[in-house]
Amino acid sequence: MVTAFMSLSDQLLASGRKLLMNNYGRAPIVMSRGEGCVLWDVDDRRYLDMTAGIAVCILGHGHQGLAQAISEQAARLHHTSNLYFIEAQIRLAEALAKRAFAGKMFFCNSGTEANEAALKLARRYQAVVRGKPQRIELISFENSFHGRTMGALSVTGQAKYRQGFGPMVGDVRFIPFGDAEAARTAISERTCAVIAEPIQAEGGINLPPPGYLQELRRLCSERGALLIFDEIQTGVGRTGTFYAFEREAMVPDIVTLAKGLAGGVPMGAMLASDEVERAFEPGTHASTFGGNPLASAAALYIQQAIDEQNLLGQCKEAGAYLGQALSRLAERRRPKTRGTRGRGLLQGLVLDGDAAVVVQKARDRGLLLSVAGGQVVRFAPPLVVAKDEIDEAVAILDEALVES
């Protein structure tokens, strides 16, 4: 019950709990504004943000250049649908084509939609272009995460996300991530595609062994399967290169993007090689809002900012600094900690127990972190994070560890 004696935060929380579905485990905080790596709630309490809206706000909060790009586009034209060509979408495609993957592009509104599009394209390519309709098996990996819609959920290798939603889309096989022998055994003449995250983010920030992704590429090429890289969380500079796969001296057949792509405006993308994209013809797949002028203008600004502000170099430098700070913390707080893992500004502190407890205690002290894989405290701050902000975050996390 809302009363005049309740704080604004309590009033909004009471209303939200009454009206919103209970599908999120939300913290009892109502955010109001942000600047850079800092957020304030409606009661004006400050929070240092090391989550960036789940690896989304790569320029931080309240970025005036991004806000101006969105505002100018909204005042000019915000939606037309894909019945027509969209200028900002074409400009964005031109910018993305200069990166490490220069295929054809389909724009949508989220990561899960991008992965759905990738799975559909792979199935249709095998059936229609190659004339092999029997190649329908999809191979994914244990501890993977690809989204919440039925197709993306079906290739997500964590049973907890699929519980109660069966039956899933069929002909999916899960194999251990990083096990080359398992991949050699699994990929066959029935395999349509292999879908993998170059780094498993939600699954615990799991990095592949050296050469493993290259072996997946070799096996897929040799056996006629497509290779899909889900770069939803690792792409757009998060690991220090625009795509995480760039370190591997190889390219997939299909790559998906979202999260940081438009800096917080909902947007996803699926890119495919010129050979594979032939499977999509008019009417085979679509999105009413995908690549709309507003989202495309925001994403185009992000592309320009990445180069003009040297965000990839900044990510490498800040990521190395964060990784070293977390390593020192891990060594100091053993046996509560088991080590660290990550790349760029996707870093994790591995605990000897439930990471949610530590994340909550850090939040109580004004630090926003998230959990990956149950026992990993995840850092995915804006790419503009400063070293003094990293120092502050690690110091608060240290206090939370001591108390937990």
Query: What is the tens place of the pLDDT at every residue in 109-165?
Result: 999 999 999 999 999 999 999 999 999 999 999 999 999 999 999 999 999 999 999
User: What pLDDT sits at residue 404?
Assistant: 87
* Pair (330, 301) in one structural domain: no
Q: Is the pLDDT of residue 5 over 80?
A: no
Domain boundaries, position 28: 8-62+310-403
Q: What is the 3-state secondary structure (H, E, C) of the chain?
A: CCCCCCCHHHHHHHHHHHHCCCCCCCCCCCEEEEEECEEEECCCCEEEECCHHHHCCCCCECCHHHHHHHHHHHHHCCCCCCCCCCHHHHHHHHHHHCCCCCCEEEEECCHHHHHHHHHHHHHHHHHHHCCCCCCCEEEEEECCCCCCCHHHHHCCECHHHHCCCCCCCCCEEEECCCCHHHHHHHCCCCEEEEEECCCECCCCCECCCCCHHHHHHHHHHHHCCEEEEECCCCCCCCCCCCCHHHHHCCCCCEEEECHHHHECECCEEEEECCCHHHHCCCCCCCCCCCCCHHHHHHHHHHHHHHHHCCHHHHHHHHHHHHHHHHHHHHHHCCCCEEEEEEECCEEEEEECCCHHHHHHHHHHCCEECEEECCCEEEECCCCCCCHHHHHHHHHHHHHHHHHC
User: What pLDDT sits at residue 102?
Assistant: 87
Map tokens 């390519």 to a residue.
125
Question: Nearest CA to 229 among 269, 191, 274?
Answer: 269
Q: Establish if 369 belongs to a structural domain.
A: yes
The domain boundary residue, chosen from 281, 308, 335: 308
The domain total for the chain is 2
Bridge partners, 61 (sequence order): 36
Q: What CATH number is associated with residue 168?
A: 3.40.640.10
Q: Establish if 67 belongs to a structural domain.
A: no
* Pair (211, 300) in one structural domain: yes
Q: Establish if 72 belongs to a structural domain.
A: no
How far is it, in rounded angstroms, from Cα 264 to Cα 56? 6
Q: Establish if 47 belongs to a structural domain.
A: yes
pLDDT digits (tens, 9 = 90+) for 82-104: 999 999 999 999 999 999 998 99
pLDDT (average), residues 319-324: 98
Q: What CATH number is associated with residue 58?
A: 3.90.1150.10
Q: Establish if 1 belongs to a structural domain.
A: no
The domain boundary residue, chosen from 308, 335, 365: 308
* Pair (149, 176) in one structural domain: yes
Q: Is the pLDDT of residue 369 over 60?
A: yes
How far is it, in rounded angstroms, from Cα 61 to Cα 307? 19
The domain boundary residue, chosen from 308, 332, 365: 308
* Pair (232, 246) in one structural domain: yes
Q: Establish if 2 belongs to a structural domain.
A: no
pLDDT digits (tens, 9 = 90+) for 211-253: 999 999 999 999 999 999 999 999 999 999 999 999 998 999 9
**Amino acid occupying residue 272:** A
* Pair (241, 276) in one structural domain: yes
Q: Is the pLDDT of residue 4 over 80?
A: no
* Pair (228, 276) in one structural domain: yes
* Pair (86, 195) in one structural domain: yes
Question: Is residue 244 within 8 Å of residue 199, measured between CB atoms?
Answer: yes
pLDDT digits (tens, 9 = 90+) for 13-42: 999 999 999 999 999 999 999 999 999 999
* Pair (282, 135) in one structural domain: yes
Bridge partners, 227 (sequence order): 194
**Residue 51 pLDDT grade (very low, low, confident, very high; cuts 50, 70, 90):** very high
Question: Is residue 269 within 8 Å of residue 131, measured between CB atoms?
Answer: no
Pairing state between β 370-372 and 376-379? antiparallel
User: What pLDDT sits at residue 314?
Assistant: 98
* Pair (256, 362) in one structural domain: no
Residues 6+ apart with CB under 8 A from 236: 58, 242, 257, 259, 260, 261, 302, 306
* Pair (171, 268) in one structural domain: yes
Q: Establish if 82 belongs to a structural domain.
A: yes
* Pair (298, 317) in one structural domain: no
User: What pLDDT sits at residue 1?
Assistant: 54
Specify the pTM: 0.96
How far is it, in rounded angstroms, from Cα 97 to Cα 103? 7
User: What pLDDT sits at residue 2?
Assistant: 56
Average pLDDT, the chain: 97
Q: Establish if 83 belongs to a structural domain.
A: yes
Percent of the chain with pLDDT over 90: 97
* Pair (82, 181) in one structural domain: yes
Q: Two tokens at 365?
A: 């002290």
